[in-house]
């Protein structure tokens, strides 16, 4: 029996069931009124018994589920078919709560439905709901329920249930299919549309609304579309669609849209001409946002020759592997990257890569990902071209399956990234060269500061000797003055530590090491750097004014490299003031915090009152090998700027009015300081 027939038969059977109950109620009602059965005409009694018999047969054997439920929700009766549909026997359900065959989250809904039936006796109510079979599977039903009164006046709810599981599964599958389609349209930037040429009626998918940047509540119409189309393309679009309508043919064209913000979007519309049920012309098609493609073409196809050159030298190629991860197909133009198809088909990726044995962990993880059938991105490995030269390849892939979910292999793309890898290697080599040069500069600076360093060490050493002599004297007294001797020894220790600190700073500046980023107190960095140039300042009669804020947050940096920058700037300031004789030679070093680009930064300045510099010098002073000194190499300021930029900061120079110059360093604060 077809579902429609079952539904029709179920409706008729329900009428019989309701009629049977009504007859029983009438009979029992007469008994309640103390009418004797013998008083009922014999023919009426026969008809009544026949009706009850028919009712019982319909109730038990009708292919529709029937439940009788009392006001408390207890199953009073259930037909055999209904119980079997749920995997039970009738005896297992009778006397139990009807809620037992419903999901817990639907219990309140079931209670409300029963309550509504009880409030509207003799009125039918219909709803759709899930039930739980004994084995835990789901059964969707359409329930038709009515509350009736028994012979004793007590209400009972009769429920006839139609199995609609297949319909619900079809609806769910349709919804899922629609969801997949919408997702696919969004991912591919392709929308769908329908257009009835005779009436002008247009329907759009969600993605088409997005492409045209139109609210989904707006009904699409020809005037609106023409308004969106670029003025230079409107006539061509009208001609194309008009010819398609006249000749009843498909069309495929590209045009531009002008968005509300003035931006231009490129789209491609493809439509198929069909006839509707009334014989009218209708077009069903798709519209794709190809702006990204057009933008790529604009960048790479400035001329036909340029496009040809690009095509001939392209390093991207497509590949496909089987379930054993061996290459089965590779695009023909892959040999432009030296990867001839005949040379790799049948091989695995790790057979091709000569670095498979050198990086076993990387390849172990890659093979594990392949065996797990998950996508992978941006795997970079070494390979060789047709001439045996090493090249670097970046590849990404995605597994694909047949309709039964059987794994078939991977599909993906490879890109020759040799140039980028070589550039990274060259940049690393340059960084190392810059570090070497910075080290040489520090050592050279230490040579220039030999007198200052010697002075810094001699002072504590001389104090050590004096205090040691004093200690001997105190011990030579009778009796020995141990308190004074102990104090002299303490001073010896302190002066020894002072000398050790100077040596530590000198060794740190002379040491060749990689940059070490740690939280730093800039005031401490400044003071340590100034201790190393103290003798130079005194020799050239230069005074220093330190204006260091006491509430500065820490920065993240390399202490030695930042000290190198400060020493270089101070030495430049000393040289710049060498010819100054008409005013005091003063160097000002200031440290404070300021807002920069919407965030707090450290602001460190070194200002001298020397000869200053010209505008031309300002533009070139940080250029490598540019110098205004007769014996200079022109690398000091260039190295200083490189160090500051490596710390995420900026180094600038400004000529001050009335002479002199200011060098300004801006450095970011530690993350915890600004969070």
pLDDT at 446 over 90: no
Residues 464-483: what's their mean pLDDT? 85
3 state DSSP class of 327: strand
Residue with tokens 């030269």: 389
Report pLDDT digits (tens) over 589-606: 999 998 877 788 999 999
Closest residue by Cα to residue 605 from 561, 533, 542, 665: 665
Please give the distance of CA 641 from its chain centroid, rounded to a whole number: 35
Q: What is the Cα–Cα distance from 76 to 90, expressed in whole angstroms?
A: 10
- The predicted structure's pLDDT at residue 2: 40
pLDDT at 25 over 50: no
Q: What is the Cα–Cα distance from 273 to 92, expressed in whole angstroms?
A: 60
Residues 105-121: what's their mean pLDDT? 94
Confidence of residue 305 (pLDDT cuts 50, 70, 90): low
Closest residue by Cα to residue 395 from 383, 406, 407: 383
Report pLDDT digits (tens) over 65-87: 889 999 999 999 999 888 998 99
CATH code of 314-416, in short, is: 3.30.450.20
Please answer whether residues 346 and 326 qualify as being in contact, where contact means their C-beta atoms are separated by less than 8 angstroms: yes
- The predicted structure's pLDDT at residue 341: 45
3 state DSSP class of 168: helix
Q: What predicted TM-score, i.e. pTM, was given to this entire model? A: 0.34
pLDDT at 189 over 60: yes
- The predicted structure's pLDDT at residue 56: 65
Region(s) of the chain under CATH 3.30.450.20: 3-163, 171-296, 314-416
Report pLDDT digits (tens) over 481-523: 888 888 888 888 877 876 776 677 666 655 555 567 889 999 9
Q: For a pLDDT cut of 70, what percent of the chain falls above it?
A: 74
Angle in degrees, 0-180, between the axes of helices 636-646 and 559-576, rounded to the nearest 10? 150
Confidence of residue 32 (pLDDT cuts 50, 70, 90): very low
Q: What is the CA radius of gyration of the chain?
A: 46
Q: What is the Cα–Cα distance from 348 to 615, expressed in whole angstroms?
A: 62
Closest residue by Cα to residue 593 from 665, 539, 529, 526: 665
Backbone angles phi, psi at 607, to 5 degrees: -120, 130
pLDDT at 24 over 50: no
Confidence of residue 352 (pLDDT cuts 50, 70, 90): confident
Angle at CA of residue 635, ends 634 and 637, nearest 5°: 95
Residues 309-334: what's their mean pLDDT? 72
Report pLDDT digits (tens) over 35-64: 444 554 566 666 656 666 666 666 666 678
The region that residue 355 occupies, defined by phi over 0 for left and psi between -120 and 50 for alpha, beta otherwise, is alpha
Please answer whether residues 441 and 639 qualify as being in contact, where contact means their C-beta atoms are separated by less than 8 angstroms: yes
Backbone angles phi, psi at 430, to 5 degrees: -65, -40
Residue 506, CB half-sphere, CA atoms under 13 Å: how many? 21
More confident residue, 293 or 598: 293
Burial class, 162, CB count within 10 angstroms (exposed 0-12 / middle 13-18 / buried 19+): buried
Backbone angles phi, psi at 331, to 5 degrees: -65, 150
More confident residue, 541 or 437: 541
Residues 105-128: what's their mean pLDDT? 93
pLDDT at 390 over 70: yes
pLDDT at 125 over 80: yes
pLDDT at 632 over 80: no
- The predicted structure's pLDDT at residue 371: 92
Superfamily, domain 171-296: PAS domain (3.30.450.20)
Tell me if the bond preceding 479 is cis, omega within 30° of 0. Answer: yes
Lowest mean pLDDT among 9-23, 460-474, 584-598: 9-23
In Å, what is the CA distance from 189 to each residue of 34, 218, 233, 257, 638? 80, 20, 21, 15, 49
More confident residue, 258 or 622: 258
- The predicted structure's pLDDT at residue 167: 86
Residue with tokens 């010209």: 614
- The predicted structure's pLDDT at residue 116: 94
Residues 216-243: what's their mean pLDDT? 90
- The predicted structure's pLDDT at residue 615: 63
- The predicted structure's pLDDT at residue 311: 41
pLDDT at 576 over 70: yes
- The predicted structure's pLDDT at residue 449: 57
Q: What is the Cα–Cα distance from 250 to 234, expressed in whole angstroms?
A: 19
- The predicted structure's pLDDT at residue 452: 53
Please answer whether residues 663 and 606 qualify as being in contact, where contact means their C-beta atoms are separated by less than 8 angstroms: yes
How many residues are listed for the chain in this entry? 675
- The predicted structure's pLDDT at residue 334: 46
- The predicted structure's pLDDT at residue 523: 92
**The two three-digit tokens of residue 25, written as one number:** 């109620």
Closest residue by Cα to residue 472 from 459, 490, 484, 463: 484
Q: What contacts 163, CB < 8 A, 6 or more positions away?
A: 6, 65, 85, 139, 140, 141
Residues 265-286: what's their mean pLDDT? 85
- The predicted structure's pLDDT at residue 10: 41
Give me the helices (H) in 33-79, please. 42-61
Secondary element (H or E) of residue 470: helix 450-476
Secondary element (H or E) of residue 181: helix 165-188
Q: What is the Cα–Cα distance from 489 to 471, expressed in whole angstroms?
A: 7
Q: What value does the mean pLDDT of the chain take? A: 79
Please answer whether residues 535 and 451 qualify as being in contact, where contact means their C-beta atoms are separated by less than 8 angstroms: yes
> What CATH topology corresponds to 516-675?
Heat Shock Protein 90 (3.30.565)
Across-strand partners of 650? Answer: 666
pLDDT at 640 over 90: no
- The predicted structure's pLDDT at residue 103: 93
Report pLDDT digits (tens) over 324-338: 999 988 776 544 445
* Counts of helices then strands in the chain (DSSP H, E): 23, 22
The region that residue 635 occupies, defined by phi over 0 for left and psi between -120 and 50 for alpha, beta otherwise, is alpha
Q: What is the Cα–Cα distance from 341 to 331, expressed in whole angstroms?
A: 7
Q: What is the DSSP string of 219-251?
A: PP-HHHHHHHB-TTTHHHHHHHHHHHHHHT--E
Region(s) of the chain under CATH 3.30.565.10: 516-675
Closest residue by Cα to residue 398 from 417, 372, 418, 424: 372
Backbone angles phi, psi at 545, to 5 degrees: -115, 110
Domain 3-163 -> CATH class: alpha beta
Report pLDDT digits (tens) over 146-167: 999 987 888 999 999 989 888 8
More confident residue, 670 or 30: 670
Angle at CA of residue 636, ends 635 and 642, nearest 5°: 85
pLDDT at 375 over 60: yes
Q: What is the Cα–Cα distance from 586 to 591, expressed in whole angstroms?
A: 17
């Amino acid at each position: 029996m077809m579902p429609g027939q079952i539904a029709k038969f179920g409706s008729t059977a329900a009428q019989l069931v309701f009629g049977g109950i009504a007859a029983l109620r009438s009979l029992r009602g007469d008994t309640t009124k103390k009418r004797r059965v013998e008083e009922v005409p014999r023919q009426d009694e026969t008809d009544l018994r026949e009706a009850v018999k028919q009712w019982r047969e319909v109730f038990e054997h009708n292919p529709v589920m029937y439940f009788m439920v009392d006001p408390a929700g207890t199953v009073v009766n259930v037909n055999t078919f209904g119980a079997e549909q749920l995997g039970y026997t009738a005896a297992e359900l009778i006397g139990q709560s009807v809620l037992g065959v419903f999901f817990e989250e639907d219990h309140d809904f079931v209670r409300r439905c029963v309550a509504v039936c009880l409030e509207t006796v003799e009125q039918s109510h219909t709803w759709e709901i899930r039930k739980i079979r004994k084995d835990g599977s789901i059964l969707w039903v359409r329930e038709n329920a009515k509350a009736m009164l028994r012979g004793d006046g007590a209400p009972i709810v009769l429920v006839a249930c139609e199995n609609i599981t297949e319909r619900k599964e079809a609806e769910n599958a349709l919804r899922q299919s629609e969801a997949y389609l919408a997702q696919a349209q969004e991912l591919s930037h392709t929308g769908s549309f329908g257009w009835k040429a005779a009436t002008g009626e247009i329907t759009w998918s969600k993605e088409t609304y997005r492409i045209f940047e139109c609210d989904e509540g707006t009904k699409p119409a020809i005037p609106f579309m023409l308004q969106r189309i670029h003025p230079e393309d409107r006539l061509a679009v009208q001609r194309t669609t008009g010819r398609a309508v006249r000749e009843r043919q498909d069309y495929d064209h590209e045009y531009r849209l002008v968005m509300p913000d003035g931006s231009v979007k490129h789209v491609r519309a493809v439509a198929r001409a069909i006839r509707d049920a009334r014989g009218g012309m209708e077009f069903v098609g798709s519209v794709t946002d190809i702006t990204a493609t057009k933008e790529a073409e604009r960048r790479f196809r400035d001329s036909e020759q340029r496009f040809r050159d690009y095509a001939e030298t392209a390093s991207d190629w497509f590949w496909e592997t089987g379930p054993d991860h061996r290459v089965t197909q590779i695009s023909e133009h892959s040999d432009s990257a030296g990867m001839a198809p005949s040379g790799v088909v049948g091989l695995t990726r790790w057979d091709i890569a000569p670095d498979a044995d050198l990086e076993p962990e990387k390849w172990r993880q890659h093979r594990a990902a392949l065996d797990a059938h998950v996508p992978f991105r941006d795997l970079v490995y070494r390979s060789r071209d047709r001439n045996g030269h090493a090249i670097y390849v970046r590849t990404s892939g995605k597994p694909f399956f047949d309709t039964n979910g059987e794994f078939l292999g991977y599909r993906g793309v490879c890109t020759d990234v040799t140039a980028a890898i070589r550039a990274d290697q060259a940049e690393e080599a340059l960084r190392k060269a810059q570090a070497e040069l910075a080290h040489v500069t520090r050592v050279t600076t230490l040579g220039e500061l030999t007198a200052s360093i010697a002075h810094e060490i001699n002072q504590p050493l001389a104090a050590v000797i004096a205090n040691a002599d004093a200690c001997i004297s105190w011990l030579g007294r009778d009796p020995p003055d141990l308190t004074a001797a102990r104090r002299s020894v303490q001073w010896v220790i302190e002066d020894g530590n002072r000398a050790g600190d100077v040596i530590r700073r000198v060794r740190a500046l002379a040491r060749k090491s990689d940059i070490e980023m740690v939280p730093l107190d800039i005031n401490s960095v400044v003071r340590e750097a100034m201790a190393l140039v103290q003798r130079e300042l005194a020799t050239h009669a230069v005074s220093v004014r330190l204006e260091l804020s006491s509430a500065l947050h820490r920065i993240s940096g390399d202490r030695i490299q930042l000290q190198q920058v400060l020493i270089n700037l101070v030495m430049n300031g000393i040289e710049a003031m060498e010819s100054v004789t008409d005013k005091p030679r003063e160097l000002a070093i200031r440290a404070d915090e300021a807002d920069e680009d919407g965030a707090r930064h450290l602001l460190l300045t070194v200002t001298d009152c020397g000869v200053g510099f010209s505008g031309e010098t300002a533009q070139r002073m940080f250029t490598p090998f540019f110098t205004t000194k007769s014996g200079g190499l022109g690398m000091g300021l260039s190295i200083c700027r490189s160090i500051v930029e490596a710390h995420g900061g900026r180094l600038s120079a400004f000529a001050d009015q009335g002479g002199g110059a200011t060098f300004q360093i801006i450095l970011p604060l530690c993350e915890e300081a600004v969070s």
